[in-house]
Chain A
Amino acid sequence: MNDESFSETFLNERVQVVAVFGGGYHPCRPVRFRRASGREITVTELGLRHPQANGQRMLHIFDVTDGGADYRLEFDAERLTWHLTMEADHYE
């Protein structure tokens, strides 16, 4: 939905993602992803990662930002695929 204060676009776009698997409280962190258009986005902050079960199929939702817009990446733990499902710009 778009209104005067921000725009939010819902997508189902397959993306290529570079992620780091490490330790700590956030063991998987997407650091960069390439959209279908070829545009590359560098993640500057992982906002929140939460799991979302769809039956016994598990998705991991990563809310991230590149400092200019917020993005939602979904990792399908069964199919090992990444999708970009939301992009939001917040205007001043």
Chain B
Amino acid sequence: MNSHYNNERSLIMHIDLNSCFATVEQQARPMLRGKPVAIVNRRTEHTAIVTASYEAKAFGVKVGMKLRDARLLVPDIIALESDPAKYRYVYHRLLAIMQDYSAHVTMKSIDEGVIDFHNTTADIAGRDLVEIGHEIKQRLKDEIGVWMRCNVGISTNRFLAKTAAGLHKPDGLDEINHQNLREVYKSLKLTDLTGIAAHNAARLNAVGIYTPLEFLDADPVTLRRIVFKSIVGEQWHQRLRGWEVDDRSSDVKRVGRQYVLDRFDLSFDDILKRLHHLSETVGSRMRGQGKAARGIYVYVRTLERRYWHASFMSSTSFYTDKTIFMLARQLFVHAPKGIREIGIHCYELQSITRSQVSIFEDSIVREQHITSTIDSINTRYGERTIHSADTLGTGIYVRTKIPFGSTRYL
């Protein structure tokens, strides 16, 4: 374990698009530039804001705020429905730009990614990363559009690079290294640190740590044994000093989808149709990854904010829409009344080749053939060209939105 600050050259760059979806809409629609814009998944007063433009944020509008509440702050806020195809395009353009500088690029979500400049070409390695950061900013404007802006953070590890990218929003470019590390921490609150929200802050407060500087100076043994009670404490000790502990990728562990009901007075049958629609999407995504599942989990959030869930673990794996919905429906019959949100996840994923073999092989093979044929038709003619008759009317409600925090389906 390193007890000193990492004084190596900064070779990690974090790039974060500013208010991504709102900025992309302002890029696409020039008449929206300079105006307060909110992106929502559904244009109702009760809907939550997914992204707000900087003009809206200046009035106090925040992500997650109800549109109705945002209108109290900014009566003329322009609410637009999210347009995933546009954001996917910008994501792929950004990714292509980043990959011009290194083979080691990791997208953390639809609007942020990391370039690792270790092991890049001699030409790139010989250049100043601050200069490359400015070049990427300019390329975003040239290759996508003049309104595009991004924050760039440079440091020795992913955590500090992300912290640097958040220092001067919008359109900032900062480096954190061993020389200015303490100075930067001095300007931040504990909860400004990625990974330190209220719960972790309370743990730190309990041992007298109230600032990032006190966190930095904390003894690793205290962090491990008292604060985090695991190796996580030592990882924080390293992370805060600029040593890399976050360079790891995770396998797909589950595939899921959730949906806030379009109306809260729907009959149980209508809710089941929406669950069926979600089951078809989950099945399609899972098969797209070449995966089958053994576990299924359904959940409900009620209007009284109660959480209910049920799960089932099968002895054989499954991946067809029919089986996923059959299992989900069996679990769902015990769901409480007054439903606000439904969700379904498939887990214990494994390769699709080993799946669904049992004594009922004939009927299962037939079901697999039908599923494969439907997938081929939908790939050729478009998503949901063929789907169950049960979900004929649900498409206008249960539309695919942007998956935050995952780039798996982009």
Contacts and interface: CB of A to CB of B under 8 A. Distances in A.
A88 B28 CA distance: 12
Interface in A1-56: 1, 3-6, 25, 45, 47-48, 50-56
B78 interface: yes
Given A1-B43, A90-B35, A61 B381 contact: no
A65 B147 CA distance: 14
A48 B380 contact: no
B26 to A, nearest CB: 9
Contact of A56 (B31, B88, B379): B379
**Interface bin, chain B:** 20 to 34
Given A5-B77, A5-B78, A47 B27 contact: yes
A77 interface: no
Interface in B48-106: 75-79, 85-86, 88-90
Contact of B381 (A3, A55, A89): A55
Among B24, B78, B380, B382, residue most surrounded by chain A Cβ atoms (within 10 Å): B78
Given A4-B75, A4-B76, A55-B378, A45 B30 contact: yes
Interface residues of A, number: 26
Nearest to A65: B30
Contact of B145 (A48, A52, A69): A48
Given A45-B30, A47-B30, A90-B78, A55 B382 contact: yes
A25 B28 contact: no
A70 B31 contact: yes
A76 interface: no
Interface in B333-360: none
A6 to B, nearest CB: 5
B142 interface: yes
Nearest to B30: A65
Contacts of B218: none
Interface string A61-77: 10101001110000000
A55 B385 contact: yes
A25 B79 contact: no
B29 interface: yes
Nearest to B147: A47
Contacts of A89: 31
B34 to A, nearest CB: 10
A79 interface: no
A24 B377 CA distance: 36
Contact of A48 (B43, B79, B144): B144
Interface of B: 24, 27-32, 35, 43, 75-79, 85-86, 88-90, 142-145, 378-383, 385
19 contacts: A1-B43, A3-B79, A4-B76, A5-B76, A5-B77, A45-B30, A47-B28, A47-B30, A47-B145, A48-B27, A48-B145, A50-B88, A51-B89, A52-B85, A57-B381, A63-B29, A65-B29, A65-B31, A70-B32
Given A52-B85, A63-B28, 11 more contacts: A48-B27, A48-B144, A53-B382, A55-B378, A55-B382, A55-B383, A56-B379, A65-B29, A70-B28, A90-B29, A90-B78
